[in-house]
Chain A
Amino acid sequence: MTKQAAQKKILSKNPKTSFNQVMKFINVVLIVSIFNLSSCVKHKDSLDAEKSFASSGKIAFKNFSSIDDGTATIPSFPYESWTLENGLKVYFVNDPELPVVSSSIFIPGGSFWEKSEERGLYAALGDNMRSGGAGKLSPQDLDREVEKYAASISSSFGQEFGSISSSSLSTDFEKIFSLMCEVLLRPTFNRERLSLWKGQSFEGIRRRVDDPTTVASLAVRQLLVGGTPYGSITLSQDITSITRPKLRALHVRAVIPNNAILAISGNISREQAGIVVQKYLAAWPKASSSLVPPPPFPDQKNSGIVFIEQPLAQATVLIGQLGPERFSSDQYATEIFNQHFGSGGFGSVLMKRIRTELGLAYGVYGSINPGLKKGRTLLHLQTKPESVGEAVAESLNSLEGMKQKEISQSDLIETRKSIANTFIFNFTSPSQVLGRKVQSDLIGYPPNYDQKYLENIRAVTAADIKEVANKRWNYNDFVLVLVGPKTALESLKTAQPRLPSPLNSAKIRMAGFDEVLKLRE
């Protein structure tokens, strides 16, 4: 059955989820998906040059030797956009396949703008806008209304922006949209719900230590830029100091239509969307000033090796350093480097070597992840304690290979094609196309980014990739965090002489997780 087919532990071949978790904590990934319910329909004549019946002749691999190079026709899903007088930009696309509508309002601003005394405040605002009731509705009434329509309304703030979203059947669009706008404009931050939220947050913080990947991720974040808005980790005392007046003040300051974006996708007409948006959001008052630029990025604070002891059957290694700003000149070479070296699938250099050939890990990933002002360059693996040294040495050896030698022409072409041929998957439904447009506005894609993308990918040379490897992976700046039992440390020590300088002679610092977090000032 499909229903709540809650296969609690579905075993899958691809371990990517653990890396996604790393990315979540280090946070360099911006938008994963804009809408909860993405959908698509409409018949489109597929004109791809392809045979409509089976080719005859012997079945053989060589029949498939020619490989496309990003030639799939990108479908167009015409969307519309307009701007309200208060500055709110609206995007709309009709999507008739399912009888549902999804709406999201994106608001620039987030924890990167937090001062040290208001750590965690943006996240608290996001959580409590929805949970704390809105307008005349108590939290319980709001829950009941949403449940009555089998709809969903959610709100959250991350590092760079916040979003208030809803989805419902198209017949309930106006009702649910109006409730979403109450959450957006008139949250009441109910006292009881705030205290409930605090209790939940304390428990969440308390339980972080239970998961080694979370521990390693937070430790790396802390060691790189801890104590600054770009590396802030919320602690219990931050939660304690959050109050209703602070939430109200931040709501007034941050939730403004200047530069906000509303995206609507689903089975309703442009006219209906226009009327409803005007009715509920035209009166959202414009603020006198927009968000100030984010604070300057600090220098990296630490480097070296840190061991956090946990008596586990498997060790976790996370290596990190600061990375490039988004849309740097070498971003296309970076994409190919990532795909080839360690963010791609099973065919990546790291996977091939560490997983398939040596059987040392289920998951191993390495990539350069651009971010706002600066990104993070990361390598993550999990292996049995006694293999830690071998796995780290081999991974860095693979990296050294990328730094020393240009990749072969056939590898280059293969990787380029792989990126070009997956490009179509950014444009497979109306809501996806709309989501990409919103993302491009929010983080400021360069002009004609999509139109020039394939051309830019094809222009990357093997020399460019080698340059990226050398520029972005710098042993002097490495922070290596090892979480595991003492045997893992022994294994790392044994292999240490094989590591590149200065890691081969670095003193290994021992620290408890709490201790690492206290390093924040």
Chain B
Amino acid sequence: MKIHLQFKILLIILCTSLHPTQACLAQIQETVVALKKLESNVQFTTLSNGMRVIVYPRPIAPVFSGVLAARVGGTDEKLGQSGISHMLEHMAFKGTPEVGTIDYPKEKELLAKLEQLAVRAKSNPTDENLAKEWQLSMEELRKLWVTDQFTREYEKRGSVGMNAYTTSELTAYFVNLPRTVFEFWCYMESERIVNPVMRQFYEERDVVMEERRMRYETDPEGKLYELLLGTVFRAHPYGKPVIGYDFDIKRITATDIEEFHKKFYVPSQLVVSISGDVSLDRDLATLEKYFGRIKVGPVPERPHAVEPPQGGQREVVLNERGSPQTMIAYRKPVYPDPEDPIISVMVEILAGSNLSPLNKALVEQQRVAVSVGASEAPGNAYPNALIFQIVPRTPNDNRVVIEAFDKVIEKFQNSWQDEELLEFAKRSVAMSYLGSLKSSQGLALALASDELLHNNWKASLDWFEKAMNVTSEQVRESSKKYLSKQNRTIARLETKENN
């Protein structure tokens, strides 16, 4: 596939483009050359326990980006445990037996006692004696904790941009560090998997509740998005928010987290991806020494839910403070389905630039909207949705923009034919793809997620190749097939007057 990539794309562009301008060829060609160079630099191996390692040497400065990623996220949660994978991500910063405490054996005993109390409190939430015992244990524990030592140890050594995220199917931990502390990074990252300690769990649960308040409850757009996904996906776990419902978050215990961790953080579900002043030759032994000790476990079961056919248009309304806006979601397949790259090119054509039919009509000509955006969400492991987000411009309301939107889509389905715009869209896809690989961290994260989701770190390259082959007939056909009213869900935010 490596060798084919370059020529195949060039050939097809030559054949399909009616007006192959010089610029067009240059763009695609240059991008392909750059991607080929990138592809040939990637080093890949598997550790003795089955954990996969991706290395991208970029030894321009004595620094590196380290990513540890796991194939686990919101879709892997049991009923009643929504938010647990994200909660676990937070807990992975709490330290280990060696980092974060002055006396681990004593702490371990107290934490065990605390957990017993937590279980009893679930069924007796108002028991005063329990509350008292809880307070006493906490006081003892606070004396033993070295708060935030795990992150501080990184900071002292020059960490930049240390963070983590959880999506519906992936969890990733990442940081940039001076090369001199590469082995330290291996130690810390493997320790958070091999020896996590659930300290300060109940405080952290409150932190996550605050995060939920910030992202969803006080942000009208966040609220609307949560409602939209819940309406699009009724059976599949894509319908529930990754952060979890407040009533679930409040009931998760440290024991739940430990069990979840054991199940999903096994070598077959983990990838280490590093980019920068690193190489497999130089660093494999260190990686093996630390990450190789993660114990093998069974491959976890994935959700088997299949979202039933949509069966007609759905529409929901959120009455909320905040200015009106509309989200329109169309269900669609994901990579490696051949329709996926076609739909992505279609999105770029429809709403990717000032020249796009939607932006031109709604924003520039009719001026009924301030902006039209599109994204494919919420994840990429299961059939997902193409979501348009339209912000109406006063005094136009959601109804007006939806009507205008429908007219554009209808015309597009019936008669769209614009080879020039198709080429622009492909080039734009090529350039933004190139741009996404510019930083070491972006590159390491991209390779890790492709490997985890598709068991193939080259998946994006393959996807890119297919996107460059898309024809205008395919785009039109896809728009008819997927952008139908029967296949969509509309969520509207309608301003609630203050009472």
- Chain A interface residues toward B at CB < 8 A: 1-15, 18, 36-44, 46, 48-55, 59-64, 67-68, 70-73, 75, 98-100, 140, 143-144, 147-151, 169-172, 175, 196, 199-200, 202-204, 206-207, 210-212, 310-314, 344-347, 351-352, 355-363, 382-384, 414, 417-418, 420-425, 427-429
Contact = CB atoms under 8 A, between A and B. Distances in A.
A427 B205 CA distance: 38
B218 A428 contact: no
B164 A421 contact: no
Contacts of A418: 155-158
Given A6-B376, A12-B163, A68-B180, A42 B156 contact: no
A46 B156 contact: no
Given A143-B355, A418-B156, A428 B61 contact: yes
A292 B387 CA distance: 49
Nearest to A38: B438
A199 B62 contact: no
Contacts of A5: 376, 380, 449
Nearest to B194: A59
A59 B158 contact: no
B148 A347 contact: yes
Contact of A361 (B187, B207, B377): B207
A383 B148 contact: no
B242 interface: yes
B299 interface: no
Given A100-B434, A150-B427, A50 B156 contact: no
Contact of B158 (A3, A54, A68): A68
Contact of B187 (A43, A64, A148): A64
Given A64-B187, A345-B162, A11 B211 contact: yes
Contact of A200 (B162, B210, B370, B378): B370
Given A67-B156, A99-B34, A61 B61 contact: no
Interface string B201-215: 011111111110111
A21 B153 CA distance: 28
Given A7-B377, A10-B165, A147-B355, A2 B436 contact: yes
Contact of B218 (A200, A206, A212, A359): A212
Contacts of B322: 210
Range class of the B interface residue count: 35 or more
Given A46-B59, A344-B155, A356-B147, A363 B214 contact: yes
Contacts of B453: 1
A63 B290 CA distance: 13
A75 B62 contact: yes
B285 to A, nearest CB: 4
Contacts, number: 325
A210 B58 CA distance: 43
Contacts of A8: 225, 375, 377-378, 387
Contacts of A62: 98
Interface string B413-425: 0000000100010
B355 A1 contact: no
B180 A4 contact: no
9 contacts: A50-B180, A54-B286, A72-B179, A98-B438, A147-B428, A171-B30, A202-B394, A352-B147, A429-B61
A171 to B, nearest CB: 4
Contacts of B99: 61
B213 A421 contact: no
Contact of A347 (B31, B151, B449): B151
B487 interface: no
B260 interface: no
Contact of B380 (A1, A55, A172, A420): A1
Q: Which 8 pairs show the lowest CB-CB distances between chains A and B?
A: A421-B158, A6-B375, A359-B206, A150-B427, A359-B203, A347-B152, A313-B217, A314-B213
Contacts of B207: 355-356, 359, 361-362
B255 interface: no
A67 B428 CA distance: 45
Given A46-B277, A363-B214, A150 B156 contact: no
Interface in B136-164: 142, 147-148, 151-160, 162-164
Contact of A171 (B26, B96, B363, B432): B26
B433 A357 contact: no
Nearest to A175: B23
Contacts of A2: 433, 436-437, 446, 449-450, 460
Nearest to A39: B438
Given A53-B285, A150-B424, A206-B323, 14 more contacts: A8-B225, A13-B164, A64-B181, A100-B434, A144-B355, A147-B424, A211-B219, A357-B142, A360-B206, A360-B210, A414-B152, A422-B160, A428-B63, A429-B61
A148 B424 CA distance: 6
Contacts of B26: 169, 171-172
A9 B380 contact: no
A75 B347 contact: no
Contacts of B465: none
B203 A356 contact: yes
B398 interface: no
B412 interface: no
A203 B376 contact: no
B319 interface: no
A229 B187 CA distance: 52
